Chain A
Amino acid sequence: MRYEAPSSLDQAVALLAAEPGEARVLAGGTDLLVQMRTDLIEPALLVDIKGIPELREIKEERGGFRIGAAVTGAELKEHPKLKSVWPGVVEAANLIGSTQIQGRASMGGNLCNGSPAADSVPALIAAGAKASIVGPRGRRREVPVEDVMLAPRKLSLAKGEIVASFLLPAKPARTGDAYLRFIPRTEMDIAVVGCGICLTLDAKGTCTAARVSLGAVAPRPLLVADAAKALIGSKVDDAALQKLDAAARAACQPIDDKRGTKEYRIKVAGVLARRAAQIALERARKG
């Protein structure tokens, strides 16, 4: 197995594009090394992207934030501004695994690992984040995060393409985001259900915009338009929350597995949607 640590994005892309065998991007390695260790994958080439400055930086951009794909959860939490502007995203990234995992794991890896249960993805989707994808010959495209993953372990990336960064948009006034997940213990479990919600209120407290994303209840994280509709135009009162609950449940296409049954996931999706909406509402009222 070869290991390369390029210092530029172009070099990284070229290495990935040119590799005839299986090439993998190495950021935090918290999923990759486990898969290598359990012999699920045997890559011919590892491309370590942690030496590429763009992928490790958090910059303010156009009123929002550009977050390098290899920035760790711990670094997200330590950024002086990010947590107060996008608490849902930061909290979601810091629910992944343990303190030790958060010291290495990145949102780029969390997305590109292709697990429907990834914690940071529903929060990014709810926030309206876009992934900046760089490919061969300097090609760069901006893709909504909800369009990056197609199915378990299947991404919409072509050979040689890397997710370089995420752009969190400028947050409108009176907007709040939140992410909740259900796990059987208090930490350390893969999400049985995850829900990210971002909503915006007008001056009268009516919801004018909303995005609702569910994780671990379908082959990929979902952006649930009907759930958003349940909130938009309402004051996010109990009636709206009940509609939200129903819409969230209706959107689920879950499986039975060792982490949860179908019925359980459907039920809890509704519960989490209500609870996440309430937290997002509180945050929207404050900001």
Chain B
Amino acid sequence: MQEKVKNGAGAEFKWVGTRAVRPDGVDKVTGRARFGADLAMQGQLVGRVLRSPHPHARIRSIDVSAAAKLPGVKAIVTRDDFKDQPSEFIPAGEMMINYRDVVRSVMAREKALYEGHPVAAVAATSVGIAKEALKLIKVDYQVLPHVIDVVEAMQSGAPLLHEDMITAGVEPAPKAPSNVAKRIEFGHGDIAAGFAQADVVVERSFTTKPVHQGYIEPHACVASVSEDGQAELWVTTQGHWIVRAHCARLLGWDVGKIRVTASEIGGGFGGKTVVYLEPIALALSKKARRPVKMVMTREEVFRASGPTSGAHVRIRIGVRKDGRIVAAEGELKYQAGAFAGSPVQPGAMCAFAPYDIENVKVVGYDVVTNRPKVAAYRAPGGPISEFAVESVVDEIAKKIGLDPIELRLKNAARQGTKAAYGPKFGPVGLVETLEAAKAHAHWRTPLGKNQGRGVASGFWFNIGGETSVSLQLNEDGTLSLTAGTPDIGGSRAALCMMAAEELGVELDKVRVVIGDTGQLGYNFLTGGSRATFSSGMATVEAAREVIKEACKRAAKLWELPEDAVEYKDGGVRPAGPNAGKHSPMTLRDIAGIAGKTGGPIAGYARINAHGAAPSFATHVADVEVDPETGKVAVVRYTAIQDAGRAIHPSYVEGQYQGGVAQGIGWALNEEYIYGDDGKLQNPGFLDYRVPVASDLPMIDTVIVEVPNPRHPYGVRGVGETPIVPPMAAIANALADATGVRFTDLPMSPPKVLKALDEARTRGAAKI
């Protein structure tokens, strides 16, 4: 069941808030839509990557001579084809990366730092020849001891990944290098004083494993570089301007020489915000002077593209008997993989965000390990820290005998609350989601045998960023909208609707495409839940520019001052005292006079979208446990989240449901399984267990609307918050069903059964 709770303007719109069919939909249900691997260029070669079989090794030499002689091999690249990069941090989604690390991540230099690390690549006339060529490349490895556990990596004496890594954020700076890239700290108040006021204190440690975004479409691109250095790249990506920037930088080419087209993208969730194959494909194409197509196998996706961190989290919360939280403290240790840059910072920012706490301190460590470099995964870092915090909050509620929703209401962040990471919240909808949870039928439905119910809240801050769109008024009055944020979830529909709403035209008169990097100004990537927000804001601005221009042209024709003309119901007419003096002109009419009144009419918005507002959620989960096997089934789930304003409710619901499914997988069965040899044992969908259709119930949603005052339609980004509450909601439901608190993810059957059996010996199990 899908519901909506309005809180705010509740204005009536023609398109916004309706469930129109998305403009790119027909191509996607007929197989016509082209994804990364669906393009083929004449004369293209196949590119394949040689990857390190060792989790940690010095690369003494690479001999490609035998491979180069193989007939059909047209180009080979290694570290020698990529210039070294000085250290420089740049944003990648909500995370920061360093070009010195990026060039090494794309192609190993001094060392192979994880099993699967690219060491060389070939372009050949067939897959068979490419694979044969890889076998002929001789790499001399000096195998080194490896470390894959975050706590072990932090210990002195652990194998060192980077000889020059001195922990940042520590005063005085350490003298010796370590695997700790950074220490961060957030907070305010005095936690010692705060804990001293507490009647009840709960402290718990939690561990989580790396999990992969799990997009169904592997990384893929086709690169074509001509003799004069002009390059074309077709790629499945969340941000083609980012891809362009990274490739230009790594290859030493002018940004303007590379034209990147974003294909349809078959899932990203943050994992397609960085480059893997693209600089390699371009380098190969330049050498071979032919297009090069590169597609990762599923095994490569798992072995060599960034999952999110596994972590070790300790949380301590103190409350008074009346339920008021007086102090909260967290210590987060996140593993970044082979290079610095785990999402420990956003994880630390979000940990306590749903609460108004006077005394709070969060410390985080970014730790490198011999695993693939982590990439963003939907609310990066947030699900991990909030899993821990929401579990402890639940335990506290039980200890003081307070309903878990009441406890959250007593401490809920509201407008004016100062977040642990600094800013004061504007209007936010956490309380509304908690109230909606309390009022929902789910909360009141009796549970069955071996069942339990859990509730958890969640938060993501969302971002804005640089955005460009172009809106053209065509000769016949139709509109062509070109946006630059790849559509990963249906955002084209929302943009179309906002444009049609502003212009007062029929929805099918607006055609929206995602432009390539040659067609628009800079666009930051699709991530941070920013596409509908930022491209929407830019679309509205561009539409208003078209309207302004249309009025100007009509005014010119009617010989009236510009402010004597108004735009209404999809057309221009004289206003005020001049009303009725001329017949209204439709956009089509205006388009007809464009040439003689000054030229083509368009709106170009180039903004840095500010005013992105957070989205809070509260989820309720029911689980059923098989007491003899520890298998957990999710039998009912309700996701309640503040969307600000849902432009297209079906796609907002879709974001809620998709994030929930990923969170359930993270909670119950997904994990990277490594052997002691540092090699990944489950690089496939058989043993990396994402939820299948029969694993899940219907996922009920409630859209709460507390409009964001800084967006023309009140939009808040919604894509990331949904993945934040599920792990705690499930863990809390399990605790309710079994009496056992689970602190180690995933809560897979062997672990659940073992914990149940232990609790049973102590008489502490409910089932």
Residues of A within 8 A of B (CB): 38, 182, 184-190, 258-261, 263-264, 267-268, 271
B692 cross-chain contacts in A, Cβ below 8 A:
185-188
Q: Does B100 contact A (CB under 8 A)?
A: no
Chain B contacts for A189, CB-based, 8 A:
686, 689
Q: Which of A190, A261, A263 contacts B686 (CB 8 A)?
A: A190
Q: Give the complex CA separation of A239 and B386 in angstroms.
A: 47
Q: Given the complex of chains A and B, what is the CA–CA distance between A267 and B757 in angstroms? A: 11
Note all chain A residues with C-beta closer than 8 A to B669: 184-185
A260 to B753, CA, bound (A): 12
B749, A264: Cβ atoms under 8 Å? yes
B416 touches A (CB below 8 Å): no
Report B191 CB to chain A, min CB distance, Å.
40
The complex places the Cα of A189 from the Cα of B754 at a distance, in Å, of: 21
Q: Which residues of A contact B694 (CB under 8 A)?
A: 185-187
Complexed CA–CA distance, A190 and B750 (Å): 15
Across the interface, which residues of B come within 8 angstroms of A185, CB to CB? 669, 689, 691-692, 694-695
| Contact partners of B687 in chain A: CB under 8 A | 190, 258-259
| Residue contact B750 to A264, C-beta cutoff 8 Å | yes
Judge whether B691 and A268 touch: CB under 8 Å: no
CA distance A263 to B630 in the complex (A): 13
Q: Flag if B689 contacts A184 (CB, 8 Å).
A: yes
Contact with A along B687-705 (1 / 0, CB 8 A): 1010110110000000000
User: Residue B750 contacts which of A186, A187, A260 (CB distance < 8 angstroms)?
Assistant: A260
Whether B228 sits at the interface, judged by CB under 8 Å, is no
Closest chain A CB from B216 CB (angstroms): 14
**Residue with the greatest number of chain A CB neighbours at <10 A, chosen from B299, B628, B669, B682:** B628
Tell me if B593 is interfacial: C-beta within 8 Å of chain A: no
Residues from chain B with a CB closer than 8 A to the CB of A264 are: 749-750, 753-754
Q: Are A258 and B629 in contact (CB under 8 A)?
A: no
Interface string of B673-685 (1 = CB under 8 A from A): 1000000011001
Q: Which residues of B lie under 8 Å from residue A260 when comparing CB positions?
A: 750
Verify B686–A271 contact, CB threshold 8 A. Answer: no
Determine if A271 and B628 form an interchain contact, defined as CB atoms under 8 angstroms apart: yes
Instruction: Give A284 Cβ to nearest chain B Cβ, in Å.
Output: 23
Most chain A CB neighbours (cut-off 10 Å) among B682, B695, B749, B750: B750
Residues of chain B contacted by A38 (CB below 8 angstroms): 299
Chain B interface residue count, CB cutoff 8 Å, equals 23
- The CA of A182 and the CA of B686, in the complex, are separated in Å by 15
Residue B631 at the A interface, CB < 8 A? yes
Are B689 and A258 in contact, CB atoms less than 8 angstroms apart? no
**Cβ of B754: which chain A residues have Cβ within 8 Å of it?**
263-264
Q: How many A-B residue pairs have CB under 8 A?
A: 48
Tell me the bound Cα distance from A185 to B686 in angstroms: 11
Binary contact readout B652-690 vs A (1 if CB under 8 angstroms, 0 otherwise): 000000000000000011000100000001100111010
- Asked if B689 and A268 sit within 8 Å, CB to CB, the answer is no
B748 within 8 A of A: yes
A187 to B750, CA, bound (A): 17
CA gap between A268 and B668 in the complex, in Å: 18
How many angstroms from the CA of A263 to the CA of B669 in the assembled complex?
19
Residue pair A271, B681 in contact (C-beta under 8 Å): no
Chain A's closest residue to B627 (CB) is A271
Nearest neighbor of B686 in chain A, beta-carbon distance: A190
Report the nearest B residue to A182, measured CB to CB: B629
Q: Would you call A184 and B748 a contact (CB within 8 A)?
A: yes
B631 surroundings in chain A (CB, below 8 A)? 182, 184
Report the bound CA distance from A63 to B689 in whole Å: 43
**B748: chain A residues within 8 A (beta carbon):** 184
CA distance A184 to B687 in the complex (A): 10
Q: Which residue of B lies closest to A257 (CB)?
A: B681
CB pairs A–B below 8 angstroms (22 shown)? A38-B299, A184-B631, A184-B668, A184-B669, A184-B689, A184-B749, A185-B669, A186-B633, A187-B692, A188-B685, A188-B692, A190-B686, A190-B687, A258-B681, A258-B687, A260-B750, A263-B754, A264-B749, A264-B754, A268-B628, A268-B629, A271-B628
Bound complex: CA A182 to CA B299 (Å): 26
Q: With a CB–CB cut-off of 8 A, which chain A residues contact B749?
A: 182, 184, 264
B753 surroundings in chain A (CB, below 8 A) = 264, 267
A268 / chain B contacts, CB cutoff of 8 Å = 628-629
Closest to B750 in A: A264
**Closest 5 pairs between A and B when the two form their complex, measured CB to CB:** A264-B750, A186-B694, A271-B628, A258-B673, A258-B681
CB distance from B356 to the nearest CB of A (A): 39
Within 8 A of A (CB), among B618-644: 628-629, 631, 633
Beta-carbon nearest neighbor of B749 in chain A: A184
**Docked CA distance A259–B753 (Å):** 15
CA distance A263 to B629 in the complex (A): 12
Shortest distance between the CB of B670 and any CB in chain A (Å): 10
- Cα distance, A267 to B760, chains bound together (Å): 15
Find out whether the CB atom of A188 lies under 8 angstroms from the CB atom of B629: no
Measured between beta carbons, the chain B residues less than 8 angstroms from A259 are 687
Shortest distance between the CB of B673 and any CB in chain A (Å): 5
With both chains docked as a complex, state the minimum distance between the C-beta of A265 and any C-beta of chain B, in angstroms: 9
Report Cα–Cα, A260/B631, bound state, in Å. Answer: 13
Q: Is the CB of B695 within 8 A of A186?
A: yes
> How distant is B116 from chain A, measured CB to nearest CB, in Å?
14
A66 shortest CB reach to chain B, Å:
32
For B685, the chain A residues whose CB sits under 8 A away are 188
A267 to B753, CA, bound (A): 10
Report A-chain residues with C-beta under 8 Å of the C-beta of B750: 260-261, 264
* Closest-CB distance, B133 to chain A (whole angstroms): 15
Q: Which residues of B contact A258 (CB under 8 A)?
A: 673, 681-682, 687
Cα-based distance from A23 to B672 in the complex (angstroms): 35
Please name the residue on chain B nearest to A188 by beta carbon: B692
- Restricting to B718-767, which residues have a CB under 8 Å from any CB of A? 748-750, 753-754
User: Is the beta-carbon distance between A271 and B629 smaller than 8 angstroms?
Assistant: yes
Tell me which residues across on chain B come within 8 A of A271, comparing CB atoms.
Answer: 628-629
A182 to B629, CA, bound (A): 8
Residues of B within 8 A of A186 (CB): 633, 692, 694-695
Q: How far is the CA of A189 from the CA of B629 in the complex (A)?
A: 16
| Additional A-B contacts beyond A184-B669, A187-B695, A188-B689 (11; CB < 8 A) | A184-B749, A185-B694, A186-B694, A188-B685, A188-B686, A189-B689, A258-B682, A264-B749, A264-B753, A264-B754, A271-B628
- Give chain B nearest CB distance to A97 CB in angstroms: 9
Taking CB atoms, residues of chain A closer than 8 Å to B633 are 186
Q: A38–B689 Cα gap in the complex (Å)?
A: 19
- What separation, in Å, do the CA atoms of A42 and B633 have in the docked complex? 41
Q: How far is the CA of A187 from the CA of B695 in the complex (A)?
A: 8
Closest to A189 in B: B689
Task: Kindly list chain B residues whose C-beta atoms are within 8 Å of the C-beta of A187.
Answer: 692, 694-695
Give chain B residues whose Cβ lies under 8 Å from the Cβ of A190: 686-687
- Across the interface, which residues of A come within 8 angstroms of B668, CB to CB? 184
**How far, in angstroms, from A190 to B687 measured CA to CA in the complex?**
8
With both chains docked as a complex, state the minimum distance between the C-beta of A246 and any C-beta of chain B, in angstroms. Answer: 15
Chain B stretch 226-280: residues in CB contact (< 8 A) with chain A = none
Max chain A Cβ within 10 angstroms of own Cβ: one of B629, B633, B692, B695: B629
Query: Smallest distance from the beta carbon of B392 to chain A beta carbons, Å?
Result: 27
CB distance from A37 to the nearest CB of B (A): 8
Considering the complex, give the chain A residue whose CB is closest to the CB of B630. Answer: A264
Residue among A185, A186, A189, A260 with the most chain B CB within 10 A?
A: A185
Cα of A261 to Cα of B749 in the assembled complex, Å: 11
* Complex contacts, B686 vs chain A, CB 8 Å: 188-190
A188 to B749, CA, bound (A): 16
Give the docked Cα–Cα distance between A188 and B692 (Å).
Answer: 8
| In the complex, residue of chain B having the shortest beta-carbon distance to the beta carbon of A272 | B629
Q: Complex formed: what's the CA distance from A172 to B681 in Å?
A: 45
Give Cα A166 to B694, complex, Å. 31
Q: Which residues of A contact B682 (CB under 8 A)?
A: 258
Residues of A with C-beta under 8 A to B695: 185-187
In the complex, chain A residues whose CB is within 8 Å of the CB of B691: 185
**A14–B256 CA distance with the chains assembled, in angstroms:** 64
CB distance from A203 to the nearest CB of B (A): 33
Q: How far is the CB of B136 from chain A (nearest CB, A)?
A: 15
In the complex, A7→B640 CA distance in Å? 61
